[in-house]
Amino acid sequence: MTEFDPNRRNVLMASGAALTVAMAGCLGGDDDDDNGDDGIDIAEDPEGAVEEWMDGEGAEGWDGEIEDLTGEDEVTIGNGDNAPNYQYGPPAARVDAGTTVVFEWTSDGHTLHEEDSSTDFDELTDIEDEGFVHEMTLDEEGAALYYCQPHRGQGHVGALIVE
């Protein structure tokens, strides 16, 4: 058995090697259009990506069903429903391309942030309060996964599939 030589060079080399090993799995990028869980591609399998997102995030109010709102010119999604167990209402929905989607704040202190999208959903709001309305028209088919920044950990997440 050899003795450890505590000179500065050996300590730095050992520390650098340990840091390299510890960080090996943390630095890789994720350039696909998936939600980062187990690789379901949101563009290839929007329903699978929505289900994985909602289940993985513990979505409040999610019963495994994507509400069919196709055929409507305009749909409203509540942001902050069911206080204090905040959720989007409905948590997941299917709409036609060209539908106007209105997010209506139903309680205070919520945002709308995109997690992943294979459509033209590219939304971000500041923290807003009850009565605030954010409107968009999604013209591209695909899916969008989104969340409320302050309440994501409480399952305040949602999803849209645009057909």
Is residue 16 one of the residues assigned to a domain? Answer: no
Mean per-residue pLDDT, 124-150: 95
Is residue 11 one of the residues assigned to a domain? Answer: no
CA distance 78 to 46: 22
- Alpha carbon 71 to its chain's center: 26
Is residue 51 one of the residues assigned to a domain? Answer: yes
Range of the domain at 55: 46-162
Is residue 7 one of the residues assigned to a domain? Answer: no
Is residue 132 one of the residues assigned to a domain? Answer: yes
What is the total count of domains within the chain? 1
Q: Which residue has the higher pLDDT, 135 or 25?
A: 135
What are the tens digits of pLDDT across the range 84-135? Answer: 999 999 999 999 999 999 999 999 999 999 999 999 988 899 999 999 999 9
- Nearest Cα residue to 159 out of 47, 73, 10, 83: 47
CATH number of residue 59's parent domain: 2.60.40.420
Per-chain mean pLDDT for the chain: 83
Instruction: Please give the model's pTM, rounded to 2 decimal places.
Output: 0.76
